[in-house]
Amino acid sequence: MQKMGIPDDVGDVSDGLPESTSRRSDSEVFGTDRKAFSGPLNKRGTRKSARFNVPDDAGSSIASGSLRSKNDDDEYVEVTLDVGDDSVAVHSVKTAGGADVEDPELALLAKGLGKRSSLGASMVRNASSKIRQVSEELRKMTTSFSRRTPVGRYDRSKSAATHALIGLKFISKTDGAAAWAALEKRFDDLTAGTNGLLPRALFGECIGMNKDSKDFAGELFDALSRRRNITGAVINKAQLKEFWDQIADQSFDSRLQTFFDMVDKDADGRISEEEVREIISLSASANKLSKIQTQADEYAALIMEELDPDNLGYIMIESLETLLLQSPTQTVRGESKNLSIMLSQKLRNVTDRNIIQRGYDGFKYFLQDNWQRVWVIALWIGAMAGLFTWKYIQYKNRAAFDVMGHCVCVAKGAAETLKLNMALILLPVCRNTITWLRNKTKLGVVVPFDDNLNFHKVIAVGIMIGVGLHAISHLACDFPRLLSATEEEYEPMVQYFGEQPDSYWHFVKEAEGYTGITMVVLMAIAFTLATPWLRRGRLNLPKPLKKLTGFNAFWYSHHLFIIVYTLLIVHGIKLYLTKEWYKKTTWMYLAVPILLYMCERLIRALRSSVKPVQILKVAVYPGNVLALHMSKPHGFKYKSGQYMFVNCKAVSPFEWHPFSITSAPGDDYLSVHIRTLGDWTRQLKTVFSQVCQPPANGKSGLLRADNQGDNPSFPKVLIDGPYGAPAQDYKKYDVVLLVGLGIGATPMISIVKDIVNNMKANQEEDEALESGNNNAMPPMSPQSKKNSASNFKTTRAYFYWVTREQGSFDWFKGVMNEVAEIDHDGVIEMHNYCTSVYEEGDARSALITMLQSLNHAKNGVDVISGTRVKSHFAKPNWRSVYKRIALTHNAQRIGVFYCGAPAPVKELKQLAADFSHKTSTKFDFHKENF
C-alpha cells in the first residue's frame, strides 16, 4: 500500500535550481492523460509517494513535466495506491486531514486513476503490455532514487551562502564596470594582431590570472565554451563579455555551475573518477603541489568513496553543493564578539586630535618601545660629543691653531672619537662575552643585547664620519696651510714637523701619512663589501666582478681589520703634534677590547678543536635543505633559540658560519638545518650528498645517510658555540607567538621541541607521584631544579610557519607529528601556511580544500604538509592573528619571536606596537638577525 501526498497546486520545482539539476528533474510523464509526477519513490516498500498536479480541466495536458499552480495556499491530499509486482490500483483519495475528497476534479482524477488501475490489474493478469510498461517505469525510477543517498534540504542561510561564495571565487576582484574596462583594454592589446579574436592561450592573462594558472584558465575557457556551444579555440569581445559576466557573477548557483562544468568535461551532467583525477592534477599544478599531483589517483578514489558511496561511478552537482554549503565552524559569539568589536574600534586611527597631541603620543610610544636603545645611543653620542669638544678646545689653545686654524681642532676632535669607536666596535662581536652577560647577569633588562649587530653597524657609521672629518681636515686643510705658511708663521711648527716642507709628498711618505691613507683604503673596501647589496649578492654585476660579492668576500674583507688595527697603533704612536708617551692614548683605548677579542678567538679555536663532533645522520630535503645530526660534546649546554658556528674543512678550513640549533636542550644530539643560499652552503650540501643514498623504509628526505658506528666517509665538522639569540628569552613569557619564515623556523622548532620535552617531563613527574615512586627518584641538583619542568614558565605557544614550497614541511615532519600526538592539552597551537597555494576561497584551490578536509577527517593527515597539522593557504592575516591572541589572553604580556627574511618585520613590529599601545595585552617583539 503506497500513500502519495498530492498538492492541489504545486509551483515549478525546476525554478531556482542549477541548470544541470533541472535537466535531470525528478519529474516523469506517463499514461495516456500525460499527468505530471514528481517526487522520490522507494522501490523496497509497497507504498509509493508522489505529488500530482491537478489541471484546470481533466483534458488539459502538461508539457515538459513542469508543475504549475493557481493558488498559493492550497492544501495537500493523500492518494493511496496498491502497488504489486505486476499491478497498480488506486485504493483511496483523502485530504491531508483524513476526510474523503469531495472536490470534483480530484474525484475525477481518482476515478481516472482507478479506472486505469482496474483495467491495468485485469490486463496484467492477462500479460497486458501497457500496465507492464507503467510498472517497469515505476521500478526504474524507484531503483534510481533508492540507490542515491538523499541530499536533503540544502542550507541556504545567509552565513552558509556567504561562506560558500567566499569558497568559490574565480577572480579576486569584481569591481563592476571598472574591472570590465580594464579587461577590455587588455583584450584590445592582446588581440591587436589577431583581428579581434582572443585565443585560448591568452585567456588567463586577459582576465587577470597569473602565468602559473595558465592551465587552469584554459580549462575555465573550455567549460565556458561548452556551455555556449563554442567549438573554436578563439572568442570575440562579445563572447568574452558573456564569459566575464558568468565569472564575475556573485550568485552561488552560477559559481557552482561554472566549477561543475570545468570538472564535467564531457558535459554529461556527471563527474567520473577520471574527471576528478584530472581536476586534482590541474589544481595541484596551479598551486605548485607536486606531491598531490603524483598522488592524484589515490585522492580521486578518496573523493569518489566519500561522494559516491553506492559505487555508481559518478557524482552529481548536489554532492559538490553539499560540501560548499557547510557553514564555517569557527565563529565569535557573545562576550568575545563584543570584545572583538571594541578592540577593532580601539585600533582605528584617530585623526580628530590636534597635531600636538598626536605628536606627544607618538613620542611617548616611541620611548616605551625603544627606551633601552635610546639610552645606549644617547650615552654613546654624549661620549663622542664630550671627547670631540675636549680635544677641540685643547687644540684651540695651542700654537698649531695659529697656523692650521679650526681644521686641526676638527681633525683632533674626530680622531678622539675614532679611538673610542675603534675600541667599541669590537665589543658587539664578542659573542661569548655577550652570551655570558645574557645568561648570568640581569643586564639584559636594561641593555638590548639583541641589537648587538645593529650597534656594531651604527658604530661603523660613526667611524666613517670620523675618518672623513679627520682625513679631509688633514689632507685638504692642515697640510696645504703648512706648505703655504710664511717662515714666521711656520716657526712654532718646526719642533713638530721639522724644516718647512716644499711639497705635499713630504707628509704622505711619513709614517703618519702612509698608515692613515692605507687604513682609509682598507676600511673603504671592508665597508663597501659589507653593504647588504654586495654581501647578499643583490647587484647584477658582470661575471668577473660577481666573485667580489657574496658572503665570502664580506668574510675575508672583514679580516682586514687585523692590518687596520696594527696600522692604527703605529699611527697613534707616530703623532706629529704629541711627543709625550702618556698623551698618546690610542693604545689605551684599544688594549682591553683587543685583548678581550683575542681571548674570544682563542676560546673558539680551542673549544672547537679539542673534540670534533661525530656525524650521526645526514638528510637532504626538498628546498635545498641539508640536515646534520651530530653528537653533543661533553659539557655543551645551550638554550632553545641559540645558535652555533659550523666549520667543514672539506669546504673551507677558515670559514665559520652561524646556524640556529634545531634540537632541544634535552636531546642527546645536536642538529642544524642548513639551506643552500650561497657558495659555502652549496658546497657543503654537495660534499654530504656524495655519501648519501635515497631513503628506504618510508623515511623522509631525498637523500639520507645514517652513521652506524665510525663512518670515515663523512666530512669532518667542527662546531663553536652556543651563542645567545633573541629567541632564547621565550621562557620569560607565559604566552609566546613564534613566527618562522621558510628556513627561519629553525630556532622556533627548537623551542617547540623544548616545550614538548617539558610536557613529557611533567607527565613523568605526575606518573611517578601517582605510582608512589617519588622516593625512588634521584635528588635534583640546584641547577636541575632551576631548569626543571616546574620552573618552566611558558604555558601556551602559537607557532606560525610560513613557507613557499610543499616539500619544506618534510624538514620538521617528525616534530609536528610528535606535537599533535603528545599535546593533549592544547599547549602548542601550530599553523602551517603554504604560500604557493591560492588563498582559501579561490576556485583554483577549491578542490584542494575539499580534498584536505576529506583526507584529514578520514586519515588524520594533511594533504599539504603530510603531517597531522592542518595547513592553511596563502599568507596569514597577521592583524587577525594578533587580535585573536589579544582577545584570548587579555591583560597579559606576549613574547613575539620572529626569524626569517626582513619583509614581514615592519608589519609584525608595527602590529605589536599598536596592540600594546591600544589594548591591555602587551606584545614584546623580538627579531632574529637573519
Residue 424 has pLDDT above 60, yes or no: yes
User: Distance between CA 248 and CA 732 in Å, rounded?
Assistant: 51
Q: Reduced to 3 states, what is the DSSP secondary structure of residue 385?
A: helix
Q: Quick one: pLDDT at residue 152? A: 39
Pairing mode, strands 717-723 and 643-648: antiparallel
- Cβ count within 10 A of residue 825: 10
Q: Quick one: pLDDT at residue 462? A: 95
Phi, psi of 452, deg, nearest 5: -60, -45
CATH 3.40.50.10420 for domain 611-724 = no
Segment among 75-84, 177-186, 734-743 with least mean pLDDT: 75-84
Q: Alpha-carbon dihedral of residues 872, 877, 883, 888, nearest 10 degrees?
A: 10
DSSP state letter for 613: B
Domain ranges of the chain: 2-147, 158-324, 611-724, 729-773+784-835+875-927
**Three cell numbers written together for 930:** 637573519
8 Å CB contact between 827 and 799: no
User: Distance between CA 3 and CA 10 in Å, rounded?
Assistant: 18
Phi, psi of 649, deg, nearest 5: -65, -25
Q: Quick one: pLDDT at residue 259? A: 75
Pairing mode, strands 615-621 and 669-675: unpaired
Q: Quick one: pLDDT at residue 384? A: 95
| Region 690-706 average pLDDT | 69
User: Distance between CA 573 and CA 771 in Å, rounded?
Assistant: 75
Q: Quick one: pLDDT at residue 757? A: 83
User: Distance between CA 849 and CA 843 in Å, rounded?
Assistant: 10
Q: Alpha-carbon dihedral of residues 59, 62, 67, 73, nearest 10 degrees?
A: -20
Q: Which helix (H) or strand (E) holds 38?
A: strand 35-38
Residue 571 has pLDDT above 50, yes or no: yes
State yes or no: cis peptide before 722, omega within 30 of 0.
Answer: yes
Please write the tens of the pLDDT for every residue from 151-208: 334 444 433 334 433 445 555 544 545 678 888 888 888 888 888 888 888 888 888 8
Residue 349 has pLDDT above 70, yes or no: no
3-state per-residue secondary structure call for 288-326: CCHHHHHCHHHHHHHHHHHHCCCCCCEECHHHHHHHHCC
Task: Kindly report the average pLDDT of the chain as a whole number.
Answer: 75
Q: Which helix (H) or strand (E) holds 166?
A: helix 158-166
Closest C-alpha to 733, from 855, 527, 549, 885: 885
Segment among 69-83, 294-308, 575-589, 666-680 with least mean pLDDT: 69-83
3-state per-residue secondary structure call for 691-707: CCECCCCCCCCCEEEEC
User: Distance between CA 480 and CA 515 in Å, rounded?
Assistant: 19
Q: Quick one: pLDDT at residue 727? A: 85
Pairing mode, strands 28-30 and 35-38: antiparallel
Ranked by mean pLDDT, the top range of 84-98, 243-257, 481-495, 872-886 is 872-886
Closest C-alpha to 144, from 275, 314, 259: 314
8 Å CB contact between 3 and 39: no
Q: Reduced to 3 states, what is the DSSP secondary structure of residue 786?
A: helix
CA 418 to chain centre: 44
Q: Quick one: pLDDT at residue 310? A: 81
Segment among 159-173, 215-229, 659-673, 848-862 with least mean pLDDT: 159-173
User: Distance between CA 161 and CA 252 in Å, rounded?
Assistant: 7
Please write the tens of the pLDDT for every residue from 823-842: 777 888 889 898 888 776 66
611 falls in which pLDDT band (50, 70, 90)? low
Say which residue, 752 or 109, is predicted with more confidence.
Answer: 752
Say which residue, 608 or 604, is predicted with more confidence.
Answer: 604
Q: Quick one: pLDDT at residue 708? A: 55
Q: Quick one: pLDDT at residue 81? A: 64
Q: Quick one: pLDDT at residue 697? A: 60
Residue 143 region by backbone torsions, left for phi larger than 0, else alpha for psi between -120 and 50, else beta: alpha
Q: Reduced to 3 states, what is the DSSP secondary structure of residue 335?
A: helix
Q: Quick one: pLDDT at residue 549? A: 80
Q: Which helix (H) or strand (E) holds 188?
A: helix 176-190
Partners of residue 393 on adjacent β-strands: none
Which percentage of the chain shows pLDDT scores above 70?
72
| Region 450-456 average pLDDT | 88
Q: Reduced to 3 states, what is the DSSP secondary structure of residue 723?
A: strand
| Region 910-921 average pLDDT | 88
| Residue at grid coordinates 706648505 | 483
Partners of residue 830 on adjacent β-strands: 799
8 Å CB contact between 13 and 38: yes
Which percentage of the chain shows pLDDT scores above 90?
15
Segment among 46-60, 68-82, 269-283 with least mean pLDDT: 46-60
Segment among 48-52, 354-358, 926-930 with least mean pLDDT: 48-52
User: Distance between CA 828 and CA 738 in Å, rounded?
Assistant: 10
859 falls in which pLDDT band (50, 70, 90)? confident
280 falls in which pLDDT band (50, 70, 90)? confident
User: Distance between CA 589 and CA 601 in Å, rounded?
Assistant: 20
Q: Quick one: pLDDT at residue 293? A: 80
CA 471 vs CA 387, 414, 458, 463, 475: distances in Å: 18, 9, 20, 12, 6
Q: Quick one: pLDDT at residue 8? A: 40
57 falls in which pLDDT band (50, 70, 90)? very low
- CATH code of the domain made up of 158-324: 1.10.238.10
Segment among 108-117, 257-266, 518-527, 649-658 with least mean pLDDT: 108-117
Partners of residue 646 on adjacent β-strands: 657, 719
**Three cell numbers written together for 793:** 614558565
Residue 819 has pLDDT above 50, yes or no: yes
In sequence order, the 6+-apart residues with CB closer than 8 A to the CB of 855 are: 299, 302, 861, 862, 863
At 680, which amino acid appears?
Answer: W
**Three cell numbers written together for 409:** 681642532
Please write the tens of the pLDDT for every residue from 780-800: 444 444 444 445 677 889 999
**Three cell numbers written together for 547:** 666573485
CATH 3.30.930.10 for domain 729-773+784-835+875-927 = no
Burial level of 859, CB count in 10 A (0-12/13-18/19+)? exposed
763 falls in which pLDDT band (50, 70, 90)? confident
Say which residue, 222 or 74, is predicted with more confidence.
Answer: 222
8 Å CB contact between 837 and 874: yes
Closest C-alpha to 136, from 120, 112, 114, 115: 120
| Residue at grid coordinates 565569535 | 332
Q: Reduced to 3 states, what is the DSSP secondary structure of residue 797?
A: strand
Q: Reduced to 3 states, what is the DSSP secondary structure of residue 552?
A: helix
- Domain 158-324 and domain 611-724 have a common topology: no
By residue count, the chain amounts to 930
Q: Quick one: pLDDT at residue 375? A: 94
Q: Quick one: pLDDT at residue 604? A: 82
